[in-house]
Amino acid sequence: MSPREDDAIARSLRGLRERRIAPVWDRMDEPDAVLFESLWEDLVALGLTAIGLPEEHGGVELEASSLASVLTELGAAAPALGCALIGHLTATALLVNAGVPIGEGRGALAFSPLDARPAARFALAGSLSGAVRVGLAWPSWIVVPARRDTEPRLCVVALRQRGVRFEGRPSSHGLRLFPFGTLTLEGAIPSYEVAWPEAGRTAALADGLVTALLCGMASELADRAMSFAFDRYQGGKMIRDHDAVRALVGPIELARRPLAALALATLTQDEPGDGGASAFAADIVRQAGLDAIQTMGGSGYMQDYGVERYLRDAGTLETSWIHAAARRREIARARFAEMER
The strand order across the sheet containing 122-125 reads 164-168, 180-188, 127-135, 122-125, 141-148, 151-158, 192-195
* Least confident window among 44-53, 158-167, 214-223, 256-265: 44-53
In terms of Cβ atoms closer than 10 Å to its own Cβ (0-12, 13-18, 19+), residue 269 is: middle
pLDDT at res. 224: 92
Judge whether residue 241 has pLDDT over 70: no
Judge whether residue 64 has pLDDT over 70: yes
**Residue 155 to residue 90: CA distance in whole angstroms:** 14
What pLDDT digit, counting tens, does each position of 120-168 carry? 779 999 899 999 888 899 988 899 889 998 888 999 999 989 999 999 8
Per-residue confidence band for 2, with pLDDT thresholds at 50, 70 and 90: low
**Is residue 255 a contact partner of residue 314, using CB atoms and an 8 Å limit?**
no
Per-residue confidence band for 300, with pLDDT thresholds at 50, 70 and 90: low
**Residue 220 to residue 199: CA distance in whole angstroms:** 34
Per-residue confidence band for 278, with pLDDT thresholds at 50, 70 and 90: very high
Per-residue confidence band for 115, with pLDDT thresholds at 50, 70 and 90: confident
> What mean pLDDT comes out for the span 51-62?
73
Query: What average pLDDT is seen over the chain?
Result: 86
CA distances from 153 to 112, 120, 195, 259 (A): 13, 8, 5, 33
**Is residue 63 a contact partner of residue 1, using CB atoms and an 8 Å limit?**
yes
Q: Which residues pair with 123 in a beta bridge?
A: 129, 147
pLDDT at res. 245: 78
Looking at the domain 201-340, which fold is it? Butyryl-CoA Dehydrogenase, subunit A; domain 3 (1.20.140)
Burial 294-321 (b: 16+ CB within 10 A, else e): bbbeeebeeeebbbbbbbbbbbbbbebb
Closest CA to 17 of 84, 87, 71, 74: 74
Per-residue confidence band for 105, with pLDDT thresholds at 50, 70 and 90: low
The CATH superfamily of 3-98 is Acyl-CoA dehydrogenase/oxidase, N-terminal domain (1.10.540.10)
Per-residue confidence band for 107, with pLDDT thresholds at 50, 70 and 90: confident
Task: Report yes or no on whether pTM surpasses 0.85.
Answer: yes
Considering 53-67, 174-188, 220-234, 312-326, the range whose residues carry the highest mean pLDDT is 174-188
pLDDT at res. 248: 86
Per-residue confidence band for 114, with pLDDT thresholds at 50, 70 and 90: confident
Judge whether residue 175 has pLDDT over 70: yes
> What mean pLDDT comes out for the span 174-197?
92
Q: Who has greater pLDDT, 238 or 215?
A: 215
**Residue 315 to residue 293: CA distance in whole angstroms:** 14
Q: Who has greater pLDDT, 165 or 228?
A: 165
pLDDT at res. 235: 63
> What mean pLDDT comes out for the span 86-110?
79
Closest CA to 71 of 203, 252, 264, 258: 264
CATH code of the domain occupying 122-195: 2.40.110.10
**Residue 186 to residue 115: CA distance in whole angstroms:** 24
- Name the CA radius of gyration of the chain, rounded: 20
| Domain coordinates in residue numbering, the chain | 3-98, 122-195, 201-340
Cβ partners under 8 Å of residue 332, min gap 6: none
pLDDT at res. 301: 66
> What mean pLDDT comes out for the span 4-27?
88
pLDDT at res. 315: 92
Per-residue confidence band for 340, with pLDDT thresholds at 50, 70 and 90: confident
